[in-house]
Amino acid sequence: MKKILIIRSANMVTIDKLISSIQSIYKDSYEIYMLIQKSSVKSFEEKYKNIKYIEKKDGFFYYRELKKDRIIFNRLKKMKFDNIYIPSSTNNFESLTEVFLIASDIKSKGYSICSWDGEINSITLYKGALYVEKYFGELIYFIKLVFALVNITYAYVLYFLWIKVKNVVKHII
């Protein structure tokens, strides 16, 4: 029996598609756990009675916040999963760095992302790279932006110099 964790980081429609995919992949040989916000448990329990829910405080999945909740965090760290699914309500997973950090602290044989359209892809999580992205991502983006602006300026300067040289050569000839 496959032990699966879903981190509820997407809307209900995306979760429905993910659970449907899990059911078709694993047939009847799976056990699903879901890390979920407290206020969402009731609506999910009505629809999915066979899922075991791990409740966290309402709000976004912040790594430090979840780590401070020692009961939930220790419970998750003691468990071992065959796969952890990280769904997104969009096709953009860049905003899920905090969720990836949480997943990287939980023992699992594999990690998968699921986009809003139900497409599932396996991923590898590197905790060091996630920390760099979380704490230095904006700085790195800013540095890239500065370099891009410098390169654009350099290209324009070269272009205008070329035009001037071309005009001077035209007048000489």
Task: Tell me what percent of the chain is helix, strand and coil, each rounded to the nearest 5.
Answer: 55, 20, 25
pTM: 0.75
- The predicted-structure confidence for 34-47, as pLDDT tens digits, reads as follows 999 999 999 999 99
The helix or strand, by DSSP H or E, that contains position 169, with its residue range, turns out to be helix 127-172
- The predicted-structure confidence for 98-148, as pLDDT tens digits, reads as follows 999 999 999 999 999 999 888 899 998 887 777 777 777 778 888 889 999
The Cα–Cα gap between 106 and 103 comes to 5
Judge contact between 84 and 7, C-beta under 8 A: yes
Q: How is residue 16 written in tokens?
A: 């429905």
Q: Mean per-residue pLDDT for 1-13?
A: 94
